[in-house]
Amino acid sequence: MIELENVAYNYGGGDLLSDVTLKLAPGSFHFLTGPSGAGKTTFLKLCYGALVPTAGQASLFGQDVRGMDRDAVALARRRIGVVHQDCTFLDHLPIAENVALPLVVSGRDALKEQANLKDLLAWVGLSSRAQARPPELSGGERQRAALARAIIMSPDVILADEPTGNVDWEMSQRLLTLLVELNRMGKTVLVATHDLSLIRAAKTHVQARVLRIAQRRVQLAGADL
């Protein structure tokens, strides 16, 4: 699905990541940890083509990112659900329409997926807020809406950046269950988080690999997690 080979990245200064080689195989479940500012978000951006490696090669679904034009990236994004760390929405549209947005822009009939949308909103606990505008939501509610938006298309890959940073423990378990469920359906999942207890809890449900960013490298974390 997504392959990085000897990838390095820097924002103009010294390398933030270097020599990263990783393959997100179909149906795999990964966690990504690392201290704040280590490059987790940067890594995810490399995985969905928002950033282009400064060295090495990143490929999405077999296509080299460097060779993709904007349209190709847009099409690839429809197969990748992304939960951004700072969840941004179209503030003038109600949450329900925001969650359905990926359907709209890819030209699918949002009306047909109405039932699906409803279920999803119910699962993340936003049924009663479906008609609210994003600025009227609480921090945690926004995060849940962002997760719902990322998976409404049932994409092949789900990349979630701190999807539980602002929600309580029970809700984070609920969201985790959702991701595990999707993984069981064959989706590839990568969750960046600093919350080790979340990772520990997940390990009882799913066989997840835990990656850690340290010293500019992405390494497999030890069994201590």
Partner 1 sequence: MKALLDRVMTALRGDAQADRVVPPTGHTATLTLFSAAVMTFLAVFALALSLATGRLADRWSSELARTSTLRISAPAEQMEAQTRAALRVLETTQGVASARALSVEEQRALLAPWFGPDVPVETLPIPQLVEIVEDGTGYDAAGLRLRLQAEVPGAVLDDHTRWRRPLVTAASRLRLLGLVSILLIGTAMAAMITLAAQASLAANTQVIAVLRLVGARDSYITRAFVRRFTLRALSGAAVGMVLGVLAILILPPAQEEGGFLTGLGFQGWHWLWPLILPPLAGMVAFWATRTAARRRLAEIP
Ligand X SMILES: Nc1ncnc2c1ncn2[C@@H]1O[C@H](COP(=O)(O)OP(=O)(O)OP(=O)(O)O)[C@@H](O)[C@H]1O
Applying CB under 8 A, which residues contact partner 1? 50-51, 70-71, 74-78, 82, 84, 88-93, 97, 101-102, 104-106, 110, 149
How many other C-beta atoms lie within 10 A of the C-beta of residue 170? 9
Looking at the Cβ atoms of 3 and 97, the one nearer to partner 1 is 97
Under the criterion CB under 6 A, does residue 140 sit at the interface with ligand X?
Answer: yes
Under the criterion CB under 6 A, does residue 16 sit at the interface with ligand X?
Answer: yes
Least separation in angstroms between CB 195 and a second copy: 8
Among 106, 114, 131, 138, contact with Mg ion (rule: CB under 5 A): 138
Classify 89 as helix, strand or coil: coil
Under the criterion CB under 6 A, does residue 169 sit at the interface with ligand X?
Answer: no
Looking at the Cβ atoms of 13 and 107, the one nearer to a second copy is 13
Under the criterion CB under 5 A, does residue 41 sit at the interface with Mg ion?
Answer: yes
The long-range contacts involving 112-119, CB below 8 angstroms and separated by at least 24 positions, are 113/152, 116/152, 117/152
Looking at the Cβ atoms of 41 and 183, the one nearer to ligand X is 41
State which amino acid sits at residue 67.
Answer: G
Q: Considering only CA atoms, which of 191, 153, 187, 147 is closest in space to residue 171? A: 147
Q: How far apart, in whole angstroms, are the C-alpha atoms of residue 67 and residue 40?
A: 24
- Taking 3-state DSSP, the helix, strand and coil percentages for the chain, each rounded to the nearest 5, stand at 35, 25, 40
Among 54, 57, 85, 177, contact with Mg ion (rule: CB under 5 A): 85
Under the criterion CB under 6 A, does residue 207 sit at the interface with ligand X?
Answer: no
Would you say 148 and 103 are in contact if contact means Cβ atoms under 8 Å apart?
Answer: no
By CB under 6 A, what part of segment 19-78 binds ligand X?
34, 36-42
Least separation in angstroms between CB 59 and a second copy: 25
DSSP secondary structure string for all residues of 104-128: HHTT--TTTTHHHHHHHHHHTT-GG
Which residues form the interface with Mg ion (CB under 5 A)?
40-41, 85, 138-139
Which residues form the interface with ligand X (CB under 6 A)?
11, 16, 34, 36-42, 85, 129, 132, 136-141, 166, 194
